[in-house]
Every structure is written in C-alpha cells, then in structure tokens.
C-alpha cells in the first residue's frame, strides 16, 4: 500500500464536522476525489499530504509509516522527496524565471538540481523556449505546465492536484489531464486529484464521491 487513511475527521468552526471515508491508494493508481464545492476535498487533500493533522483516531500512512507520528521536519522531508503538488493557485514565484521556479522543487526537498531532467521536462512540456521568462510573461496554459513540471521534478511516488482543470475549457482540461497522466506513468507515480469537474472522470479507475455537507432543503 502506498498511501492509506482511516477515521479521518476535521472540525470546522461554525460548520458541520467533516468525515471522510477510509482510503487506500496503490502504487501507480489513479484516484479521483469528486464532489461539489464546499464538501471538503481540499481539506482532505491537505490531510493526506501531511499538511493538516486529523483529529481523534485519524491516521494517514505512507508506505506503512504514520506520517503524523513523524516530526514536522521528517514529515517535510518525506513530502518533499515523495509527494508532488499542483495547487489550485499555482504558486509560481513572480521574481524567478520558469526554469528556476521548476528547480525550486529540488531546492525545497534538499536535493541536488538535476539540470538534465529539468531540460527534459521543459522539452516534454513544450516550454524550452520560455525557460528564462518570468511567470507574468507566460500564458495560463504555460504556467500550468510549469507547475506540473515542478510537481514531477523529483520523481515523486504520488502526484496530488487540487482542481487542476476546473477553470479550463474542455480542450485544455483534457490536455492537462493527459499531461498529468503521462508524467505519472513515466515515473510510476500514483495520481490523486480533488475536483468537482465531472469531465475528467474517464481518466480514473478509482473514484471516491463526496457529498455536500450543506444539502439544499426541499421546499415544503
């Protein structure tokens, strides 16, 4: 088992407590956390990524290790070396060029920069000609591809993405999913995506559906 979670719940001030189903992710598996806005997908992804500790009996294990039993420093190290992230807000640093933004993944993980791998990613994602440009000189699609390159630079064992397609039209949504799928396949990584975008369900063999914690009341 690559990643698993049990008994995950999160209390929220002024809102119903969130409860999430137990989850098991195998190496190389593609898993979709699907549900409407406000159902807690991003919160759950944060818990699974080691960024938000669960309550009570909640447990998240990576390769058999309880990640919340690790020290914060050890958890950061594990996440930097084995987890790749594509955030809803891409978090490209505006003062750095595209190549340096991608290389940050190695720097943050305390790993040596693999310049040849950066070159291959730039070429694969059709970004070689834009490597020295700042993010504000790139299109939205180019920024998204740069974020994907940064996420997979260290050869992570799991790639996590939060709403990577929700703001894109059909063609670009499909292109982003194909890129994520190809990069995951090349490194043997599992792919875990949280979204409300039903258009991308055909890319996944494992779909976990979450319900709205605030269901609309039917009129009397």
Domain residues of the chain, as ranges? 3-94+157-209
In sequence order, which residues have a C-beta less than 8 Å from that of residue 118 and are 6 or more positions away? 99, 102, 103, 149, 153
- CATH code, residues 3-94+157-209: 3.40.50.300
Model confidence, pTM: 0.89
Task: Report how far residue 161's alpha carbon sits from residue 180's, in angstroms, rounded to the nearest whole number.
Answer: 9
39-97 pLDDT per residue, tens: 899 999 999 999 999 988 999 999 999 999 999 999 998 998 999 999 888 889 999 99
Do 10 and 47 contact (CB within 8 A), yes or no? Answer: yes
In the structure encoding, which two tokens stand for residue 16, read together? 């119903």
Residues of the chain with pLDDT under 50: 215-220
CB count within 10 Å of CB 170 equals: 9
């Amino acid at each position: 088992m690559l990643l698993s979670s049990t008994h995950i719940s999160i209390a929220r001030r002024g809102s119903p407590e969130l409860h999430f189903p137990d989850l098991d992710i195998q190496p190389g598996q593609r898993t979709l956390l699907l549900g409407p806005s406000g159902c807690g997908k991003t919160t759950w992804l944060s818990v699974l990524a080691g960024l938000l500790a669960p309550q009570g009996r909640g447990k998240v294990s990576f390769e058999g290790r309880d990640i919340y039993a690790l020290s914060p420093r050890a958890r950061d190290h594990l996440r930097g070396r084995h987890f790749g992230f594509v955030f809803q807000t891409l978090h490209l640093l505006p003062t750095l060029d595209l190549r340096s933004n991608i290389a940050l993944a190695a720097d943050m993980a305390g790993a040596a920069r693999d310049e040849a791998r950066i070159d291959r990613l730039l070429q694969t994602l059709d970004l070689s000609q834009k490597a020295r440009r700042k993010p504000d000189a790139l299109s939205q699609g180019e920024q998204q591809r740069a974020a994907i390159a940064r996420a997979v630079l260290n050869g992570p064992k799991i790639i996590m993405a939060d709403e990577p397609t929700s703001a894109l039209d059909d063609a670009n949504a499909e292109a982003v999913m194909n890129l994520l799928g190809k990069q995951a396949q090349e490194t043997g990584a599992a792919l875990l995506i949280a979204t409300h975008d039903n258009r991308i369900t055909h890319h996944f063999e494992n779909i976990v559906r979450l319900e709205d914690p605030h269901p609309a009341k039917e009129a009397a």
